[in-house]
Chains A and B, each alone.
Chain A
Amino acid sequence: MKFLLSRLASALIVVMGVSALVFLFLYMVPGDPVEVMLGESAQPADREALRRALGLDQPLLTQMGHYYYNLLHLDLGNSLYSQRPISEMLLERMPATVELALASLLVAVLIAFPMGVLAAVRKDTPWDQGAMGLSLVGISVPNFLMGPILILVFSLWLGWFPVSGRDGLISLILPAITLGTAMSSILSRMVRATVLETLNEDYIRTARAKGLSERLVIWRHALRNALLPVITLLGLQLGVLLGGAVITEVVFSWPGLGSLTIESIQRRDYPVVQACVLLISLAYVLVNTLTDLVYGWLDPRVRLEGGR
């Protein structure tokens, strides 16, 4: 319990710290939301009125105080542009982001585990080189290229999937592959390294000496222990993905959080940017806290160290 409380307390500090930093950065960034909203035709009096109405005429600390006060009352405010409640906008985008994040993670796991284990077991053979070569390609091809290539081949030429948009499960496949393959490249290298390390452990030698089949040794003994650091990496990746994969979202017109954040930055819609960043950092911190907890659960040594 002490471990859990300390993790949650540090998570809260991180989230509040991140939103304070973003508040400061947005305050400093050039470009005025009132100018962007009203254009040049507005009279100075109208600009002032709008600035007052939006609370932008207040000193930084007052604005920040209001923000935290509203936040404690779970009020994220309205978008400067569309006047829509920000919570409604976030709720509209969240499912798409979560769905894409989970699907991408699934693709990554399905590719990375077999590939990583194969490369480890067949170390220094063409299998290993081939798998690691493929993972290098996966890391090197950026999403803005991978996305259109997949669209061209699988949507336009083969006609299997829609080009873009969120149109049911089938439309999820290409963006998930785009994100998942890039992630699987890092993950497969990690799996390979940890499995290789585990294969040299004494208990593996013991398992082999007991006469267990190589398949059992690898999948039941080596991989299980190799999983721990991989779970940490998966947690980190999921955190990143929950923040929205901007490029992939743009390429596939995927209505997620990433594109909302970018659009809001371009429009200087500060409250929306603020809320997006808050949600992203919250997702990141929660996933990582959860990972830590799972890690602690799996490995009592971590729990003890953390609770001290």
Chain B
Amino acid sequence: MEGFALKLSRFTILALLLAVFGITACSKAPDGALRFGLAKAPITLDPRFATDAVSARINRLIYQSLIDFDESYRVIPALAQWQQVSPRHYRFKLRDSATFHDGSPLTAADIKATYDSILDPAINSPHRAGFDMIETIQVVDNNTVDFMLTKPDLLFPGRLVMGIMPAAALKAKQLFNRQPLGSGPFAFDGWPEEGTLHLKRLVDRQRFSFIAVENPTVRVLKLMRGEIDMLQNDIPSEMVTYLEKQEAIQVIKGRGSNFTYLGFNLEDAETGNLKLRQAIAYALDRDTIIRYVMGGAATPASALLPPDHWAGTDLPLYGYDPARARLLLKEAGFTQAKRPHLVYKTSSDPFRIRLATIIQQQLTDIGIDVEMRSYDWGTFYGDIKAGRFQMFSLSWVGIKTPDIFRYAFHSSAVPPEGSNRGRYSDSITDALIEAAEAAPTLEQQAEEYKKVQARLLEQLPYVPLWYEDHIFAARKNISGYTVARDGNYDGLTHVTRH
């Protein structure tokens, strides 16, 4: 037995060595590839099912859509130009001869097949509800397609952001998630493992590797050591400050439009009190938070849409005024002996927790007791949708069209119908939203939506906080990248290494 035990220990070590050497596989980026660090890997490369930001941004590189947006979020032609033939009839005409990556031409039939597929209940696309105003799609000729709507919708062209997929492949039920085939500037080049995706830029055959590194510190260290060439967002502000001081690294900040806010439950006795919400708005020192916690990488907000959005407006900010906040609190019926006690729910994201802690402190300073509770995303989101909260913070990401106001603030949009999580119910806001929707031109709509935003700032169902900047950091030998307002990766179309 003794002899066997010794042999066993030797055998164990030898076996471990052999196993380790034998198994070790390699997920290396191809030689010469430009490596882009991501916080999370994309979930799917099938645009019909992509709901996460990373998938959507990468799909934009692989597929082209009919339209795009300019800097002020006006809809501009991409694959196609359009005309509104009648209030319920839009005609889209392909601009140039586009081809899919397999060489087949992109035609009107592909456009119809893409949207038909999304609308097919059997497909279960999460985007289906966004196109429920489409009545029929008709191919007029090889380059022209007509969309007939169930009701007039001035914002309709802006909804057609879905990447166009080839009809033949859709019919053949190709697994786009693993074999994406689009007509965008980048072609699929392999996805050896979930955290490593390879694309090829068609114009110069430059290869790109998207490498997921969840831990932000490690992602930054990889950039420092040159194991990745660039990254965008999802790094804490102190890391940004650190990177800015590094000789080998360049940091580019771009103004973003993702809107962060404090939301309230309007059906709650305490947070339903307008004066209390106003007190909170005046108690928050946004400038200090932005300067010290966010490294200056944000712009204070007064409305959901940024002021330079075509339907945005430049409303006054609630400035930091603790004296006024205390006065409002008193007017709301609270005293030192009867302090409001609020439960503030947040996700378990470390940045959100840090933010909540600071807000908790600033509110305590004016006499509001705040109890912070953080949950994992699924639980937190479930609670917010079910109205199980008094106060929470979240961000609206990638908002481009002003119909968000119906969706988030109309009294008919309480979950599950919409996203009015705070159960805000105000007949004036409802009427203003409906008037905006009924306006005959986009210019008139913009004017009406400005009134909606002014009313919301007055009623404060949200306390607007800021628009977060996008941070791009790269090795010094990388050039040509421009940071997009919505944080997409389109800058990779022109990026080079020298």
Chain A: residues with CB nearer than 8 A to chain B?
A: 29-32, 35-44, 46-47, 49-50, 53, 81-84, 89, 92-93, 95-96, 98-99, 102-103, 105-106, 109-110, 113, 148, 151-152, 155-156, 159, 162-169, 172, 220-221, 223-225, 227-228, 231, 234, 250-253, 255, 259-260, 265-268, 294, 298-299
Contacts and interface: CB of A to CB of B under 8 A. Distances in A.
A109 B11 CA distance: 12
Given A225-B2, A268-B378, A102 B19 contact: yes
A37 B213 CA distance: 23
Contacts of A41: 126, 129-130, 407, 419
A102 B17 CA distance: 8
B5 A253 contact: no
A40 B12 contact: no
A251 B215 contact: yes
Given A99-B20, A109-B16, A31 B378 contact: yes
Contact of A44 (B19, B130, B407, B417): B417
B172 interface: no
21 contacts: A32-B378, A36-B378, A41-B130, A41-B419, A46-B126, A81-B44, A83-B177, A92-B194, A95-B25, A106-B16, A152-B221, A163-B221, A166-B27, A167-B27, A169-B20, A172-B20, A220-B2, A223-B6, A224-B3, A250-B214, A253-B212
A250 B215 CA distance: 6
B195 A53 contact: no
Contact of B13 (A106, A163, A250): A106
B49 A109 contact: no
B129 A81 contact: no
Contacts of B415: 40
A113 B6 CA distance: 13
A38 B416 CA distance: 11
A61 to B, nearest CB: 24
Interface centre among B222, B225, B378 (most CB of A within 10 A): B378
B377 interface: yes
A231 B346 CA distance: 45
B6 A224 contact: yes
B85 interface: no
Given A40-B419, A50-B124, A152-B221, A102 B177 contact: no
Contact of A169 (B21, B178, B217, B418): B21
Contacts of A265: 376
A227 B418 contact: no
B322 to A, nearest CB: 35
Given A224-B2, A255-B195, A109 B130 contact: no
B218 A253 contact: yes
A167 B24 CA distance: 9
